[in-house]
Structure formats: C-alpha cells, structure tokens
C-alpha cells in the first residue's frame, strides 16, 4: 500500500508544525533578494537577471510562515515556483520539496512529492533516468499507521542514509529534533536502499537520499550523503505547471497570486494590420519548408531546454483571413521519435481537432512560458497591437505540447493513443489537434474569437480536414477535468463563425478522410537515444559520454527477445575509472536484469542476462566521470 496524508497523519502534521513555529528560520541574502510584506523574494532559483520567486503569506496561504517553521532555505532550499492550484489544493515548489496549503490545518505542509510521481506514472522514468528506486507496493501494515512507521523505518539499513535521516538538519533553527520531526521533513521510506553504480539510493515520501560509495573524480566523496531535490525534480517532470515556473521581477510581486476572480473582458477593438511587417497570404500547407524540431524542442521540460536555432521563416507574417500572424517556429515541438506513429510531420488526415486554452498570464509571460516547458500552435493577444502580434509558435503540421493526457472521457479511444518507446500507450490530446492559447484568464473576447476563427477557416481552405462539430472543437476543460479554460466560451458560436467565414469565401469544409492508425512499431534508429526513444541495438554499438553529478546516459533497445540468454560485453577507454563509474544496466520493464561496470583496466568483461520472452529490453549506458569516456558495447 502507499501511505498518504490520511487522518492518522493530520494530528502529526499539526503537532510538529506548531512546535517548529517556535523556531523562526534564518535566511540567506543573495544579490537581488528582498524583504516583502509578509514574505521574502529570492533570486537563487530564478535563472539570473534579477528574476526569482517570492514566498509570502497572502490569499494563496501562509507559505512564508510554514517555510520558516520548516527550516527555511537551509532545510528546504530556495523558492522555485509561484503558487499554483492542482487537485483542489494550492501548492508552491521550493527546491527540496512541494509545499501544500491545507485550509483544514490552517498551515502549509510538505506534500508527498515522491508519491505524486507514482500517481503520475513516473516511477519507471525515475528508476531509469534518475536511479531512484521503485516504491515497495505493500509494506505489510494493512493500513495501520503506527505499524507502517515501524516497518518502514526498519528499511533504513544503510547506516549513512539512516544517520542523515535522523540528524537535525539545522540546529540553529531546531533546538530539539526527534524521530517524528524527521518523518515530517522527509516522509517515511518508500523503498529499501539500492545500489546504482557509484552510489546507494533510497526513496522517501518527500525526498530521495544518495550515499556515494565510490571515489569518482569531480563527484561527492565516498560516504557523502546528498539529497535529490524533490521540488526541482517535480518541475522537471511536469508536476509543476509551466506558468508557475516562470520567474518574476521583484517589482511585480503584488499580483503573484492564484487568480480568484475572472476579470470581465474588455471591449472588442477593430482588427488592424498596421506595422505588421512583410505579410504573406497563406497559400497552402507547404507555405514554409518543414524543419525538424530545433535544439530547444527536443525535450519539452523547461530545465532541459537550450537556446534555439532561429527558423528561416521567423519574423515573417502570414495573413489568415484578416488577421496578421507573426511566424516564430523556433520554440518547442515534439521530436520525430516522440510521436512514434506520426514521426512529427503529421499527415493532413491526422489533423482534425482544435483545443482552445487560456494562458492565465499576460502577453510577455505567455510568450516566455510557451518557449519553456510547453508549446502551442498559436498565441492570441487580448487586442490588436503591433507590438504584441498574434504568434504562430509551432508549424501546424507538427504536433505541439499543449493538451496532454486525457481524463474526461473525450477522445479516449485507440485513435488518440500516444505510444512512446519504453512506456505504456496512453490517450493524449496532442495527437490529432491544433492548439490556441488566449492571453489572459477570462473567456476569450470577440477579438480573440475572431483571430481563432480566421485561422481555422483559412486552414480548412488550405486543405486541413478540421471537423466543425463539438466532438472535434473543444475547450481544454472538456478533455481534462483539472483545467478551467477557456471558461464558458460558446463553442457552438465558434463553430458557427468558422462556417460563416467559409461560406462567405465560397469554401465548403473539407470532408474528413479516413484516418488510418498504424500499428505502433519501434522506430529504426531513434533520434536521441533517450529512455523513451532508444536506439535499436543489434550486434554492437559505441559512443562517447561526459558525465556529471547526475550522470550521463545513452539508451538502446533489444527488440522481441525470445527468452534465450543474452551476453553483453562492455569496455571503455579515456580514463582509468573505478568500478561503478562507467557501465551498462539492463532493464526489462521495471526489472533490473543486471549491471556491468568494470574498473578501468579490466575492460572486456561480460554479463549474461536471462530475459522473459516477448518483452523488449532496455539497455542504459551510463557514466559519472566528468571527462570524455569512449565506450563500446557488444551483444552476443
């Protein structure tokens, strides 16, 4: 069973927090940090330029009081997000954890972040990419909390991790420290300690500890225990919404609250084209050459993005009906291997649906957020303004990262399955859809509806088979019950407006051609060798890795194993590394079939694995050495 914040934990939360509140936290002061009314502004997690995140007592909850009570920056790291809402609760990320506002307790508590990873289906990702152990599914407590405490604390069998777990993390703040305080700060163990290359890792409800066991140049010394920062990891894995990850300037903290009211839309201005630059009329689906996703787009997680290559068509304008739309095409989209069925360049017959959103941000912040972590085809401003044009951010022939998993019963069918190598096929709203993000957090106004319908009508004229009915034109909340956007926008009126524009142009909507859903097959040589997009391995492979404290990895897949034993041979050159620093681990599903990690000078060792028949094998080549290592892998 998986422990959660049940009623048996609520008393513990309230007692511990009341005790901790007696000890105000000391906080560091970096350049750009600033005191605020009922809080403080921190720049350490803002990415530079004086940007950062405030933590405050306000309408979102008393996060500042709880942050201090729990040990402040020394215990939790720096604030790493704005407040956001999820599942009926308000959260704020700090580097080490997620804080959750609990109105019933009138305080903020540490959320069980690593249980949220399990609920999001990320356990296999954490295992293969982060070397975080899988949770033990049943601890044998039968739901009895005190028995669960006894059983799970008995899993602290690594003396170094156990010592770190029980130690007072900040004696200057916490004058006393008990076992229950440690449970409150870190949660209970979710796994036993497990060895991964040069370190041992143990997973807790709110944190993961790693104790380094090998001496590796540039890495923590042996027996050093370091923590995997749960809040930062939650941001990277998408548990924190992208808009909450956008740092702010200290001068704008007054409006950093989760919106409680929806402002009324302003008057609808008359569209203008003035100062729109060189405008080209859209002539068809091949208006511009389709380029592969650029460097910033290969992984849709903000922390892993890099500066994008400028698209050749960037800065030009397309004229969709009466709406000038500036072309960007240099931000996020899905790489070919991510869309296993469509390979990124979708056939026109795939593109039949539209999802309408709002950004919950102003124009500048919307652009910033949509270049980091998520993507959308078009951003629609509140009003016509040459300095804030409508933007086409992803070529409509590509799929964008905007609608995500489905949980409302709409489109949950075989045609909407997204199948990524190494994961279970799941219904996903991005497969067949185009996405519109409207600036703001109110029902899209008349100007915004005009822009969207201009674009939809023009696309249908160009040959896109968008279906004008309520099954295919939807708001985000209709496919994801956790989303409020786009409010109570009248979708039937949107559809009618598109039809009227098509009729006035003498164009009838294109009939839906048959959609052929191919049987998912592994791509022959995926583009990036990640855990979800592995290269296909047959015979031998080689490459180079430069590791860091988090490790560097390349992934391969051995397809359709017969169940017969497989022997792998691994060697590397470039450094005389200790055992555990460079090697290869083999997985089948969530089972680790073995790890081969020889000491430098003992190259050429072999490992024989015994897989189950009928399930692909994932092969992870890893290095924790901060210099170039050339490796060779053979399969016999």
Q: What local confidence, expressed as pLDDT, does residue 602 receive? A: 65
Residues 6-19 as b or e (16 or more Cβ within 10 Å = b): eeebeebbbebbeb
At residue 407 the predicted structure's pLDDT band, cuts being 50, 70 and 90, is confident
* Cα distance between residue 565 and residue 520, in whole Å: 26
Packing angle between helix 159-166 and helix 179-186, nearest 10 degrees? 100
At residue 425 the predicted structure's pLDDT band, cuts being 50, 70 and 90, is low
Q: What local confidence, expressed as pLDDT, does residue 420 receive? A: 54
Q: What local confidence, expressed as pLDDT, does residue 157 receive? A: 94
Peptide bond into 548 cis (omega under 30): no
Architecture, CATH, for domain 276-504:
3-Layer(aba) Sandwich (3.40)
Q: What local confidence, expressed as pLDDT, does residue 435 receive? A: 95
DSSP 2-32: ---S-HHHHHHHHHHHHHHTTSPPP----TT
Contact status, residue 407 vs residue 431, Cβ threshold 8 Å: no
In the chain, what are the domain boundaries?
7-236, 276-504, 535-635
Nearest CA among 470, 431, 458, 452 for reference residue 351: 431
Look at domain 535-635 and name its CATH class: mainly beta
Q: What local confidence, expressed as pLDDT, does residue 201 receive? A: 94
Most confident of 199-203, 288-292, 490-494: 199-203
Report the first-to-last Cα separation within the chain, whole angstroms. 41
CA distances (Å), origin 65, targets 19, 58, 89, 107, 380 = 13, 11, 18, 8, 39
Reported as a single tens digit per residue, the pLDDT across 169-215 is: 878 767 788 888 888 888 899 999 999 889 999 999 988 999 999 88
Other residues' Cβ atoms within 10 Å of the Cβ of residue 67: 25
User: Residue 501 carries which DSSP code?
Assistant: H
Instruction: Give the 3-state DSSP-derived string for 424-443, with helices as H, strands as E and coil as C.
Output: CCEEECCCCEEEEEECCCCC
User: Residue 133 carries which DSSP code?
Assistant: P
In the numeric block, the tokens 């960007």 are attached to 328
Nearest CA among 440, 448, 438 for reference residue 271: 448
| Model-wide pTM > 0.75 | no
Kindly state the average pLDDT of the residues 68-84: 86
Q: What local confidence, expressed as pLDDT, does residue 177 receive? A: 87
Contact status, residue 108 vs residue 99, Cβ threshold 8 Å: yes
Other residues' Cβ atoms within 10 Å of the Cβ of residue 329: 23
204: three-class secondary structure by DSSP: strand
In the numeric block, the tokens 């380094």 are attached to 212
84-93, 486-495, 520-529, 614-623: which has the minimum mean pLDDT? 520-529
Q: Element (H or E) spanning 622, and its range? A: strand 617-623
User: Residue 107 carries which DSSP code?
Assistant: E
Contact status, residue 479 vs residue 523, Cβ threshold 8 Å: no
Considering only residues 209 and 271, tell me which one the structure prediction assigns the higher pLDDT. 209
pLDDT at 512 over 50: no
Q: What local confidence, expressed as pLDDT, does residue 488 receive? A: 87
Going along 181-270, which residue ranges are E strands? 194-196, 199-203, 208-212, 225-228, 248-249
> What contacts 6, CB < 8 A, 6 or more positions away?
145
Q: What local confidence, expressed as pLDDT, does residue 344 receive? A: 40
Q: What local confidence, expressed as pLDDT, does residue 424 receive? A: 63
At residue 296 the predicted structure's pLDDT band, cuts being 50, 70 and 90, is very low
Q: What local confidence, expressed as pLDDT, does residue 414 receive? A: 66
To the nearest whole number, what is the mean pLDDT of the chain?
Answer: 76
Q: What local confidence, expressed as pLDDT, does residue 334 receive? A: 54
> What contacts 299, CB < 8 A, 6 or more positions away?
305, 530
Contact status, residue 114 vs residue 208, Cβ threshold 8 Å: yes
Reported as a single tens digit per residue, the pLDDT across 429-456 is: 887 899 999 998 889 999 999 999 999 9
Reported as a single tens digit per residue, the pLDDT across 318-327 is: 889 888 999 8
DSSP 410-428: TT-SGGGEE--TTS--EEB
For 175: left if phi > 0, alpha if psi spans -120 to 50, otherwise beta; the answer is alpha
Reported as a single tens digit per residue, the pLDDT across 130-164 is: 889 999 988 888 888 888 899 999 999 999 999 99
At residue 79 the predicted structure's pLDDT band, cuts being 50, 70 and 90, is very high
* Cα distance between residue 20 and residue 558, in whole Å: 52
> What contacts 361, CB < 8 A, 6 or more positions away?
243, 246, 369, 439, 440, 441
At residue 473 the predicted structure's pLDDT band, cuts being 50, 70 and 90, is very high
Adjacent-strand bridge partners of 595: 585
In the numeric block, the tokens 């290269």 are attached to 535
Considering only residues 475 and 513, tell me which one the structure prediction assigns the higher pLDDT. 475
Q: What local confidence, expressed as pLDDT, does residue 19 receive? A: 25
Among the residues of 21-171, which ranges form H helices? Answer: 63-69, 72-76, 113-119, 123-130, 145-153, 159-166
CA distances (Å), origin 63, targets 53, 70, 109, 316, 570 = 12, 10, 9, 45, 50
* Cα distance between residue 123 and residue 625, in whole Å: 26
Q: What local confidence, expressed as pLDDT, does residue 243 receive? A: 83
Nearest CA among 42, 98, 34, 46 for reference residue 73: 42
């Amino acid at each position: 069973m998986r422990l959660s914040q049940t009623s048996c934990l609520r008393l513990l939360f309230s007692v511990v927090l009341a005790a901790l509140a007696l000890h105000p936290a000391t906080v560091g002061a970096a350049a750009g940090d600033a005191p605020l009314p009922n809080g403080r502004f921190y720049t350490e997690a803002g990415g530079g330029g004086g940007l950062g995140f405030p933590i405050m007592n306000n309408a979102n909850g008393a996060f500042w009081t709880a942050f201090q009570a729990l040990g402040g920056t020394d215990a939790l790291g720096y604030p790493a997000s704005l407040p956001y809402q999820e599942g009926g609760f308000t959260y704020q990320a700090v580097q080490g954890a997620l804080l959750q506002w609990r109105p019933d307790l009138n305080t903020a508590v540490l959320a069980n972040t690593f249980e949220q990873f399990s609920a999001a289906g990320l356990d296999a990702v954490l295992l293969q990419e982060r070397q975080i152990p899988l949770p033990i599914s049943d601890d044998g407590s039968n739901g009895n909390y005190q028995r669960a405490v006894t059983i799970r604390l008995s899993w602290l069998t690594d003396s170094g991790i156990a010592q770190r777990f029980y130690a007072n993390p900040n004696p200057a703040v916490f004058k006393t420290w008990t076992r229950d305080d440690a449970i409150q700060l870190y949660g209970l163990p979710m796994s036993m300690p497990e060895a991964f290359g040069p370190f041992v890792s143990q997973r807790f409800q709110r944190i993961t500890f790693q104790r380094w066991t090998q001496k590796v140049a540039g890495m923590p010394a042996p027996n050093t225990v370091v923590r995997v920062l749960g809040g930062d990891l939650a941001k990277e894995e998408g548990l924190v919404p992208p808009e909450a990850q956008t740092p702010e300037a200290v001068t704008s903290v007054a409006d950093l609250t989760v919106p409680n009211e929806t402002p009324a839309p302003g008057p609808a201005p008359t569209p203008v084209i003035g100062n729109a630059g060189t405008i080209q009329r859209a002539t068809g689906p091949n208006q511009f050459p389709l380029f592969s996703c650029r460097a910033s787009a290969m992984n849709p997680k903000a922390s892993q993005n890099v500066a994008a290559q400028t698209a050749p068509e960037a800065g030009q304008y397309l004229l969709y009906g009466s709406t000038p739309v500036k072309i960007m095409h240099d931000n996020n989209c899905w790489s070919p291997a991510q869309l296993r069925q469509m390979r990124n360049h979708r056939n026109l017959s795939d593109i039949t649906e539209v999802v309408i959103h709002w950004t919950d941000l102003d124009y500048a912040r919307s652009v910033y957020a949509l270049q980091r972590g998520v993507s959308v085809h078009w951003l629609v401003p509140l009003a016509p303004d040459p300095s804030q044009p409508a933007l086409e951010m992803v070529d409509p022939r590509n799929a964008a990262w905007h609608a995500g998993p489905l949980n409302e019963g709409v489109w949950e069918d075989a045609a909407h399955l997204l199948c990524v190598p190494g994961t279970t096929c799941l219904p996903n709203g991005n497969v067949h859809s185009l996405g519109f993000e409207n600036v703001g957090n109110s029902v899209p106004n008349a100007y915004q509806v005009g822009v969207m319908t201009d674009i939809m009508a023009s696309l249908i004229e160009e040959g896109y088979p968008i279906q004008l009915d309520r099954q295919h034109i939807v708001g985000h909340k209709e496919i994801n019950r956790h989303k409020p956007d786009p409010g109570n926008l009248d979708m039937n009126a949107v559809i009618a407006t598109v039809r009227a524009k098509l009729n006035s142009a003498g164009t009838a909507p294109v009939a839906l051609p048959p959609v052929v859903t191919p049987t998912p097959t592994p791509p022959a040589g995926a583009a990036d060798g990640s855990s979800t997009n592995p290269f296909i391995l047959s015979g031998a492979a080689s490459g180079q890795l430069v590791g860091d404290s988090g490790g560097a990895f390349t992934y391969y897949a051995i397809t359709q194993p017969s169940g017969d034993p497989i022997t792998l041979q691994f060697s590397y050159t470039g450094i005389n590394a200790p055992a555990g620093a460079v090697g290869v681990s083999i997985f089948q599903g969530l089972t680790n079939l073995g790890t081969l990690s020889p000491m430098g000078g003992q190259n050429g060792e072999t490992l024989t694995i015994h897989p189950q028949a009928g399930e692909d094998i994932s092969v992870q080549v890893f290095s924790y050495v901060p210099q170039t290592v050339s490796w060779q892998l053979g399969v016999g």
